[in-house]
Amino acid sequence: MKTLRSQPGGRSPVSIAISSIVVLGSVLGAWFFIESNKTTEVFLVTKQDLPSGAALNIANLEKIELSLFGLAGAYLRPESLLEGAYLQRPIGSGETIPLSAITTQDQDNWSNLVLTPQIPFSSQVSVGSKVAIWASPLLEFQTYGEPVLLAVDAEVVELIEPESGFASQQKSLELRVPSDSLQYLLGAISGQASIAITANGGSS
């Protein structure tokens, strides 16, 4: 009786079978990994830039399907949106919202105010920027005193373009300011003080 032996340099049927099983297992494992990573969940993203203090609601959010894998639990989903939820920091347009950026605490210590600075502000000032507000008191016609700091850490909510087409007219800003500063700001406006906005907290 003859014994079957593999030819020199050849492979036995058993070795070939084992190699095939290993290759098939690798292919199936890769397919399973890819398919499992296709799983998407519905999250809420912002429709536009939102400043801190903005209320979160269906008007400024939209649903989108995303694959965030292990980070999914750290971001806002539709079922997690609570009534009276606010942002604690600015979030850009089209971004998912970290749960760490949301609060339901009372926002009464902040107020919104629209100002039109007489002095042009930096082009670096944008929605979400932290700014300082200065006022130079009116002494007499077109004569102003030294600037006084009225508010720090105010935040830009919106930049408002002038309604007229005059190039010399300044943009207005909707600002989120500490309520403690509101009376001083309103007094400066009613007293026709010259208002300036600085992004770095220094006097201009």
> What averages of pLDDT result for each successive group of 10 residues across the chain (204 residues)?
52 66 66 62 90 86 87 88 84 90 76 89 87 92 90 87 69 88 90 89 42
- Domain annotation covers residue 27: no
Q: Count how many domains the chain has.
A: 2
89 shares a domain with 49: yes
pLDDT at 16: 67
193 shares a domain with 114: yes
Dist. CA 73–CA 126, nearest whole Å? 31
Q: What is the DSSP annotation of 79-114?
A: GGPPTT-EESS-B-TT-B-BGGGEE-S--TTEEEEE
54 shares a domain with 77: yes
CATH number at residue 90: 3.90.1210.10
- Domain annotation covers residue 23: no
144 shares a domain with 86: no
121-134 per-position pLDDT tens digit: 888 898 888 899 99
Among all chains, which residue has been given the structure tokens 């400066």? 188
pLDDT at 90: 84
Residue-number span of the structural domain to which 125 is assigned: 110-198
- Domain annotation covers residue 179: yes
What residues form DSSP beta bridges with 154?
A: 131
- Domain annotation covers residue 125: yes
Determine the 3-state secondary structure of 58 from DSSP. Answer: coil
pTM of the model: 0.56
Task: Choose one of 69, 88, 103: the last residue of a domain.
Answer: 103
pLDDT at 202: 44
76 shares a domain with 139: no
Burial class (CB in 10 A: 0-12, 13-18, 19+), 128: middle
114 shares a domain with 188: yes
129 shares a domain with 93: no
158 shares a domain with 124: yes
Q: How big is the chain by its Cα radius of gyration, in Å?
A: 31
Quick one: tokens of 160?
Answer: 């408002």
Dist. CA 154–CA 168, nearest whole Å? 25
98 shares a domain with 162: no
pLDDT at 164: 66
- Domain annotation covers residue 25: no
Dist. CA 136–CA 147, nearest whole Å? 4
160 shares a domain with 144: yes
Dist. CA 198–CA 119, nearest whole Å? 10
Task: Choose one of 103, 127, 149: the last residue of a domain.
Answer: 103
Task: Choose one of 103, 120, 150: the last residue of a domain.
Answer: 103
130 shares a domain with 97: no
What letter would DSSP give residue 152?
A: E
pLDDT at 136: 93
157 shares a domain with 181: yes
